């Protein structure tokens, strides 16, 4: 989890997102991996933007609880939407 700017300001004027969280990429609730013929495994990740209050919640609790809050509140955080509602407002 990373805050974008030292002062906590938003990434852009058209959104309130100021940070991101990295998580495994999934499809149908399965983690996406690619197994090479050599046996090596490549993991895929997704970056999800967060509002300041969501970042604070993640630090106060954990990422799993934050993702559960998104699901409980019917928020699709897996698709970038600069107007996505903030689950704590």
- Ranges under pLDDT 70 in the chain: none
pLDDT value of residue 75: 87
Residue-level pLDDT at 88? 93
Predicted TM-score of the model (pTM): 0.85
Distance CA 9, CA 7 (A): 6
Nearest residue to 51 via CA among 79, 8, 67: 8
CA atoms of 89 and 86, how far apart (whole Å): 6
pLDDT in tens, 19-42: 999 999 988 889 999 999 999 999
**Tokens 């906590």, residue?**
8
pLDDT the model gives residue 35: 96
């Amino acid at each position: 989890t990373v805050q974008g700017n030292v002062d906590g300001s938003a990434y852009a004027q058209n959104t309130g997102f100021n940070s991101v969280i990295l998580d495994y990429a999934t499809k149908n609730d399965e983690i996406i991996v690619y197994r090479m013929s050599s046996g090596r495994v490549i993991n895929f990740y997704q970056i999800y933007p967060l509002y300041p209050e969501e970042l604070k919640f993640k630090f106060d609790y954990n990422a799993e609880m934050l993702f559960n809050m998104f699901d409980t509140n019917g928020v699709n955080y897996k698709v970038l939407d600069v107007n996505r509602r903030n689950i704590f407002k």
